[in-house]
Amino acid sequence: MNWDLPLIIALISAIFAGVGLILNWLALRENNITRQIQLLNDSFKSIKETEVMLYKEYKNANQKAKREWDSLLFNSIEQFAFLVNEKFIKNSKISGFFDDAVVMWYEQIFIEHYSKEEVNNPKNYPEFKKLYHKIKLK
């Protein structure tokens, strides 16, 4: 009878510890999703701000100004693509939401603004190209 009370206390403590671990795991998982969304939002905001600059300032600009804008845009897209390709943004629903935008940026801006040699150069925006080709294979 002396051992019953400590055994019951130990059992209850173990149950609470198990429940605590499960709740902690759920909170960490939710925190990771929140961080992925924040990374995505920050990257996408940078891309959209640069894209808006095209329509406001660079639409009728000279070639040099357009190339500078291209560099800003595609460096932002390269960062976004790196985060997706390297699984910093793991959730496919989150990253897949922008698949159509990635295809549009590649086909309607990148290919239009760069020469065939620059597009085929493996040193130019490799993460962006990798993400584009991965999306096209879906």
CA distances 7 to 1, 20, 50, 61, 125, Å, are: 10, 20, 64, 79, 63
Task: Give the position of tokens 């699984």.
Answer: 87
Asked if the model's pLDDT at residue 130 lies above 90, the reply is: yes
Using pLDDT thresholds of 50, 70 and 90, give the confidence band for residue 3. Answer: low
Rounded to the nearest integer, the mean pLDDT of the chain is 86
How does pLDDT run across 66-115, given as a tens digit for each residue?
Answer: 788 888 889 999 999 998 999 888 878 888 888 999 999 999 989 988 88
Closest C-alpha to 111, from 129, 130, 99, 135? 129
What is this structure's pTM?
0.72
